[in-house]
Amino acid sequence: MKNKTIMFIALLSFYSHFSFAIDTLSVTGEVEKEVPLRSERFNKGIENVDRINGKGAGQGLIDAFNGVSPELANILVEYSFGEVYNRDILDFKSKQIVIIASLIASGAQNSQLKTHLNAGLNVGCSITEIKQLIIQMTAYTGFPKANNAMLLLKELLDERRVKGFNDLPDEVEKKSAKDSAQQDKSRYQQGVEQFNKFDNGAAQTLEDNLKEVSPDLAKYIIEYEFGDILSEPGLKLKQREIATIAALTTLGTANSLLRFHMQVAMQAGVSKEEVAEVMIITSLYAGFPAALNASMILKELTVRE
């Protein structure tokens, strides 16, 4: 009796599984695929992609990877936009400034750069702010990369105009770039003043260090980087510094300069946590090694203080 009961249970179990398999067959004879359960991170990631690039952009991102690597699409949405981008230490506008600077520095991501230039405009960056950011990058990433970014911005603005976006220059751009008092000063004088705001005596130190090697380079750095670019309105100093930190982190070739700009950023009111957040966001675009290198510099800097 006991053996018959065991056999009956086994047959019942087999029939149940067999019936389930039959029930899941579609009319074409294929087993129907279950709709995957989406994690909270995934849903938040889709929400953030839609927020910065328009409704449907998140699903468009998923669709773009179908047939190639849906796994990468899921990771991109969940980790990049659902976890890292979802952090609230920096606002959305600051995040886009960091990302745009990093992508310009990388120099080989036109589609990504154009996407994030668009996102920058969508989250509140003005045309002037983005132009100033790109111009600033000439000093740290070189003219070819900045030229490429500016042409992408031009292309993007034309496309947005066709779609009905009214991206107008803001009041800063309409007015004279510098006030009359500043215009009366030479570029060199303006540069020295701006440089010394960051670190008193820094301009003279630079000239002393390059005196025996290339005094003209010191002059150009003071006149162009600090006199022409950093004295322009359009971007706040905090925004300029997180952009510079992102670019230098991405490049990974100028640790002493990166350390200097971390100091300037914190003097300008950027917190240690915000500087660290720049590294976390930049890790998505430049990789963990670059972010780790910059994080160690921040650690050394803050431990000393």
Pair 195, 203: CB distance under 8 Å: yes
Residues in the chain: 305
Residue 171's pLDDT is 58
**pLDDT tens digits for range 151-168:** 999 999 999 999 888 876
State how far the Cα of 85 lies from the Cα of 90, in Å rounded to an integer.
9
What pLDDT band is residue 181 in, cutting at 50, 70 and 90? low
Instruction: Say what the pTM is.
Output: 0.83
For residue 12, the model assigns a pLDDT of: 40
Angle, CA of 286, 290 and 296, to the nearest 5°: 150
Residue 25 DSSP symbol: B
- Whether 14 shows a pLDDT value over 60: the answer reads no
pLDDT at residue number 182: 57
State the Cα–Cα distance between residues 298 and 245, nearest whole angstrom.
11
Phi-psi region of 107 (alpha: psi -120 to 50; beta: other; left: phi over 0): left
CA distance linking residue 206 with residue 276, whole number of Å: 27
- Whether residue 285 contacts residue 99, with contact meaning beta carbons closer than 8 Å, is answered with yes
31 bridge partner residues: 25
Report which of 122, 145, 151, 154 is spatially closest to residue 53, judged by C-alpha positions. 122
Query: Is 280 exposed, middle or buried (CB count within 10 Å of its CB: 0-12, 13-18, 19+)?
Result: middle
Quick one: which of 293, 245, 233, 292 has its CA closest to 270? Answer: 245
pLDDT of 115 reads 94
Q: 30-49 pLDDT, tens per residue? A: 444 444 567 899 999 999 99
pLDDT per residue as tens digits for the range 263-274: 999 999 999 999
Q: What tokens appear for 173 in the block?
A: 């751009």
Q: In this predicted model, what pLDDT tens digit does every residue of 229-242 receive, in sequence order?
A: 988 888 999 999 99
76 contacts: CB under 8 Å, gap ≥ 6? 45, 61, 65
Longest dimension (CA), the chain: 109
Identify the helix (H) or strand (E) that includes residue 79: none
Tell me if 263 sits within 8 A of 251, measured CB to CB. Answer: no
pLDDT confidence of residue 20: 40
Token pair in block for residue 199: 């670190």
